[in-house]
Structure 1
Amino acid sequence: MATSEKHPASLQARAIATLWRTLAGRRLTTLWRLARWTGPLVHRFSHREREVTDINLAQVYPDQNPRDRGALARRSLTHSTATMLELGFAWMAAPSRVEASIVEVHGRELLDEARAEGRGVIVLAPHFGNWEVLNFWLSGHFPFTAMYEPPKIETLDPVIRQGRERMGASLVPTNPRGVAALLKALKRSEAIGILPDQEPSWGSGVFAPFYHRLAYTATLLPKLVARTDARVVTGVAMRLPGRGFAIHFLAADERVYETDEAASAGGVNACVEAAIALDPAQYQWEYKRYRKVIEEQQGVPNHQEYRLY
């Protein structure tokens, strides 16, 4: 029974991997054209993605004209579609092709200066643009460690892991052993990557403002900063449709260095906001950033009116 139950997942994994390999051979201009064709279909037929995007945009841009917010939602889902289509390119295309697609790098001196001073670097990498291209660049230019959670389809794990590790990145589990590995990398003056906009499990975060509304935010960063002398920067790979990508490294909001976890988490969210400001359409707004609400943390019954999603 176990074998037959896994068989459909295995077929699905092979189909997905084959699609990635096929798309890896296409030009970025072709992938962007495909995204522009299919993005409107995602907006029309993917109810969950459209609804969450619309709710999030209404929360963060309440004063924006609803028609303009609708146009932004459509552009955002087109960019999210492009990211999915580009996964094969980032993981499987010839490294020379991926490297050539990165036509601009801004703020690299923030990383170079920190390492010259013997300090590690914590790169906050929001779900903006194509974060897999950012991983490719970082792991090809610096000793780089990042946390990794295996996919739900287990048979895709070796494919994804190989793609992310092929330029030398070290992937560690999302558990205390992984945190220990991050600390060791920072103490070796290396770079590590953290996804700052993933909602943590209860007990692993605090509520902090994100666009003036409280969002449950991980406290891993202040714990790492407190035990190292690391510099914090925000990193994104912004899509330049028809041209490639521009890597941007931004100096972190100074609050990230606060010992108070709530203050530090507020600085983390400010860093995410600064990245989004580069091009709001390239942020993954379909992620339920406000899923946990403060009333739940305080023990108030989870009434329907408290829920956004």
Structure 2
Amino acid sequence: MPFLFRLFSRCPLWLLHAFGVVLGWLVFAASPTYRRRLVANAALAGYSFSQVRGAVAHAGRMAAELPRIWLGAPTPLEWEGTACVDAAYARGRGVIFLTPHLGCFEATAQGLAQRYSPAHGPIVVLYRPARHPLMATVLEGARERPGLETAPTTLAGVRQMMKALRAGRAVGLLPDQVPPEGMGQWAPVFGQPAYTMTLGARLALQTDACVLLVWGERLPWGRGFRLHFRELQSPLSPLLESAVVQINQEMERLIRECPQQYLWGYGRYKQPRVDPVKGA
């Protein structure tokens, strides 16, 4: 697998995306469970399958582009709404970038590192360590790029993010990941209760960091990605439970900007897993 990843990392993005389209539809056709979940999750948000059918191909593109994103040459990037990023860094209190499973979320972290780390220090991104040994080998160092640091989903990783924010640096995470039991709260997502990460809200409330939203739009024909930045519609609530609900609402707002690129097949409403490691 490491050899294949390195081989595919040299392919042009348009070729990987073309392969991803086929891959996405093959998985959709072969897995009734995945197919039902994708359709059901979209329906909860008010979308028919015909309205989000593009998400099937985009899920395949997401998987196929990973070798290039992780191990290959930098991809072309376009930028939209960066004034709020400049203003947030100017405050000097740290920046928290939140993004859902929308478009290419790997490209957002790399883009931020390329553009802002020379002046403001490395950005720290939260990741869940791979369970499979082969994938762990692939990921070892793959996400470590200049200006980009990774923090595991452990107590040590949380401390690493807190330290970065208190130094005026930035962190990034996906708040629509389902956390282990005991590390989240039940909050509505498109009107349906979903076990929701509290980490993003806790980091903001404990450090007074600025919270911004970002998502990486996948451009057609392998032209790269367009990074979109948004401010919160209203200041984050000082109450943790309310702040978590508010962040879910902000994620919904981003998803509705481009529902065809959201990962509707993700098990957003699943029961949280029991983590045997305390603080992990």
TM-score under structure 2 length normalisation: 0.88
- How far the C-alpha of 1:182 sits from its partner, in A, is 0.8
Matches for 1:12-27 after TM superposition, within 5 Å: 15=1, 17-27=2-12
1:145 and 1:182 in contact (8 A); partners too: yes
2:22 and 2:60 in contact (8 A); partners too: no
Q: Aligned to 1:134, which of 101, 104, 108?
A: 108
| 2:16 paired residue number | 31
| 2:199 paired residue number | 220
| 1:84 paired residue number | 63
The letter of the residue matching 2:5 is: W
Structure with the larger helix share: 1
Q: Percent identity?
A: 33
CA distance in 2, matches of 1:253, 1:57: 24
2:144 and 2:150 in contact (8 A); partners too: yes
Higher relative contact order (CA 8 A, sep 6+): 2
Q: Aligned to 1:153, which of 132, 145, 149?
A: 132
In structure 2, relative to structure 1, the CA distance for the partners of 1:207 and 1:213 (3 Å cut) is: same
| 1:244 paired residue number | 224
- How far the C-alpha of 1:23 sits from its partner, in A, is 2.1
1:172 aligns with 2:157: no
CA distance in 2, matches of 1:203, 1:92: 34
| 2:209 paired residue number | 230
Give the gaps of 5 or more residues in structure 1: 1-14, 294-309
| 2:90 paired residue number | 116
| 2:183 paired residue number | 204
CA deviation map 1:27-48 (0-9, x unaligned)? 2222222223333222211223
CA distance in 2, matches of 1:214, 1:240: 32
- How far the C-alpha of 1:73 sits from its partner, in A, is 4.8
CA distance in 1, matches of 2:227, 2:136: 27
Instruction: Tell me the C-alpha RMSD between the 2 structures.
Output: 1.8
Larger radius of gyration: 1
In structure 2, relative to structure 1, the CA distance for the partners of 1:74 and 1:18 (3 Å cut) is: farther
CA deviation map 1:191-218 (0-9, x unaligned)? 1011110112222222222112222211
| 2:275 paired residue number | none
TM-score under structure 1 length normalisation: 0.81
Secondary structure, aligned partner of 1:86: helix
2:52 and 2:259 in contact (8 A); partners too: no
1:53 and 1:73 in contact (8 A); partners too: no
1:128 and 1:282 in contact (8 A); partners too: yes
Give the gaps of 5 or more residues in structure 2: 273-280
1:207 and 1:262 in contact (8 A); partners too: no
CA distance in 2, matches of 1:153, 1:107: 38
CA distance in 2, matches of 1:85, 1:123: 25
CA distance in 2, matches of 1:207, 1:35: 34
CA distance in 1, matches of 2:81, 2:191: 27
1:162 aligns with 2:141: yes
